[in-house]
Amino acid sequence: MTPDVEVAALLKQELARQETVLSMIPSENAPSLAVLEAVGSVAGNKYAEGYPGKRYYEGNAVVDKIELLAINRAKQLFNAEHVNVQAYSGSPANQAVFLAFLKPGDTFMGLDLACGGHLTHGSPVNFSGRIYKPVSYGLDKETELLDMNAVREIALREKPKLIISGLTAYPRTINFKEFQKIAEEVGAIHLADVSHIAGLIAGESHPSPFPYTDLVMMTTHKTLRGPRGALLLCKEKYAKELDKAVFPGLQGGPHENNIAGIAVALYEALQPTFKEYSLQIVKNASVLAKELMNKGFKLVTNGTDNHLILMDLRQQGISLGKQAAFALNEAGICCNMNSVPYDPALPYKPSGLRFGTPILTTRGMKEQEMKLVAGWITEVLQNMDNSGTKLRIAKEVKELCLRFPLYPELKQ
């Protein structure tokens, strides 16, 4: 068969792009070649509807072992009673929780999107906000921090059946124990959506939701540094309902090649070096935050405890996030525009920028490199219309990136 040179060329271009820019979108990471090889393996050839030992097709003896390996490694890593590894990604995994434990129209609580929540935490354009009744909690307007007393007051008033703790753009740690206490007080189930911070939890750089939380959902491709996918972890008493919601409730055959990749990523996360990596992510984000604040930028909550930074550009002007993200991209710094708490601007033209340190840390960059990056970000944002400045910085960024190859094995 004639090889597909077009796709091959495009993939080569994408690798070259990733190798020569600073990828700072917090939800992105670069899994190992071993993970990529597993995802591209023959495990993807096999249909395996059902669960290990109870399939609806024959020939699953080997993929049963792969799936059980992933399950057992996740249990060990996160000290979980029950694990489902079949959800295709984070949003379907959250949808499975809703299907298992709520009925259409039921009330639930989640963090407001503009304050750092996710679409599946109650956005009116998402299934969660269209099929169910969302009640949002936000951040304190002065401190921009979660106010657990306010969360409790809302829960006592609204009596939700589900409370979601979790983040996509909240740069501080989450008190899962307090969320669980509130949930139990009002008779709700507590879902911790730790998609962004799963790798930090695995590396003990962020407090764990276990053993408190009823249900935990995590994507596997962010700080956990695996393939695109999701894990659902829960107390044993919720296992049957959760598994039935995933299959047959929402899905047919699981993607066993992805599950193989997840198993490899979990193996890597169980190694002692992963703790060092997780801690370095947080160190890098902390240094980057301090440097940016020293240069006069306003950061939401005035810093970070995790892998991400949310910059508030309203001092420079409303709705600058999109323009700023474009300018930084031209300079080889890839971040994303983002709403900030109580942002008066529209979501597609928000007033903030979101930066993360996972890929930079994967590449081996440390505190000194973060100081360089902070300087480049500052220069670009102060000279957004200066093509010469952006071209010069793009060249300097490329030189730094070549010192820290994304996949050094490919350079050998």
Which residues are catalytically annotated?
47, 49, 193, 219, 222, 228
Alpha-carbon gap, residue 138 to 341, rounded angstroms: 8
10 Å CB burial of residue 259 (0-12, 13-18, 19+) is buried
Six token digits for residue 316:
């420079």
Indicate the residue type of 374.
A
- Calculate the CA dihedral of residues 291, 296, 302, 306 and round it to 10 degrees: -30
Among the listed residues 378, 363, 166, 361, the one whose alpha carbon sits nearest the alpha carbon of residue 275: 361
Decide the pairing of beta strands 333-334 and 22-23.
parallel
Q: Interhelix angle for 256-269 vs 61-78, to 10°? A: 40
Six token digits for residue 356:
């993360």
Vertex 84 angle, CA 81 and 87, to 5°: 150
* CB-based contact 188:165 (threshold 8 Å): no
Helix (H, G, I), strand (E, B) or coil at 23: strand
